A and B are shown apart, each in its own frame.
Chain A
C-alpha cells in the first residue's frame, strides 16, 4: 500500500479525507485505484487524452513525477504520494 496526500480542493471527493491508502505499482495504477474508491477524482487529475493536467503536480516522496517517469513512475510499498495543484497566478 502507498499513502496518498489529498489536497483540499479534492477532499469533497474523498469524503473529507486528507490521506488515503491505495494499492498500485505506478502512478497510473494509483490513480486508477483512487478512481475506484473515489469516483470522479481521475477527471480532476487527467485530461481527455489521459495525460496529467498541466497544473497538477504529483510527488513520489518528494520527487515530482515529471522529473522521473511521468505517470509511469513506479511506486513501492510505503511510498508517500502527494497530489498538489499548482499555486500560481500573475
Chain B
C-alpha cells in the first residue's frame, strides 16, 4: 500500500471545504513537495449535477502546471462524498484520468465523524465486448453506465468492471483497479 502524507491544516481544510459545500460535492487540489501535501486549492464544482458528481473548474485544472513552475508538484485530487462512504464510486472509477495521482475522498456520511481516505485508480483500455454479463447493476444516476464490482477483504470494491452501452450492438467494458493509499497526517 502506498502512502500519502497530508499536513494537519490541509486535512482540516479538506473537511471544512466538504462541510461548507454540503449537500453538494466539493473538489480541489493538493500540492506540495517531496510527496507531502501542504497546500490546498479549493476548486469550483462545475458539474451539471453537483449533488451526485464533481467536475473541476478550468482555472483550477490549469494550476497543475503552475505548481511545477513554482517548484511544487500536484500531490492529490480531492473531492467529497456528502452522503456516501469514503471510497471511489463507479463514476469516480470511470473518470479516473490521472492514474499516477492520488485521489482523496472526504466522506460526510456520518456528519460527526468525517472520514478522509486516499486511493490510486488504474484504468485499463476500454474494449468492445459482444454480450453484457447478466449480473451487472445500473450505476445510480447514470443511464448509460452499468457495473460489476469485485470486493477485496472488508467488502470494499477492489475492481470495477464498467460497461457503457451505446446501442445493443456496441458495448464496451473498462476495468478499473482500485488500490487504497495509507493517509498519514503530519503536524505541518
Query: Which residues of chain B come closer than 8 Å to A82, judged between CB atoms?
Result: 62, 65
Query: Which residues of chain A come closer than 8 Å to B99, judged between CB atoms?
Result: 9
Tell me the bound Cα distance from A86 to B45 in angstroms: 12
Of A86, A88, A90, chain B has the most CB atoms within 10 Å of the CB of A90
A87-B88 contact given A7-B64, A57-B61, A62-B62, CB 8 Å threshold? no
Tell me the bound Cα distance from A39 to B183 in angstroms: 37
Query: Which residues of chain B come closer than 8 Å to A25, judged between CB atoms?
Result: none
Distance in angstroms from A73 CB to nearest chain B CB is: 15
Q: Which of chain B's residues has its CB closest to A18's CB? A: B68
Q: Does B147 contact A (CB under 8 A)?
A: no
Binding site for A on B (CB under 8 A): 25, 27, 29, 43, 47, 52-56, 58-59, 61-62, 64-65, 68, 74, 77, 79, 88-89, 91-92, 94-101, 103, 141
Q: Does A35 contact B (CB under 8 A)?
A: no
Residue in B55, B64, B91 whose CB lies within 8 Å of A8: B64
Instruction: Show 13 A/B contacts (Cβ-Cβ < 8 Å), sorted by A.
Output: A8-B98, A8-B101, A18-B68, A57-B58, A64-B58, A86-B97, A87-B43, A87-B56, A88-B47, A88-B53, A89-B54, A89-B103, A90-B91
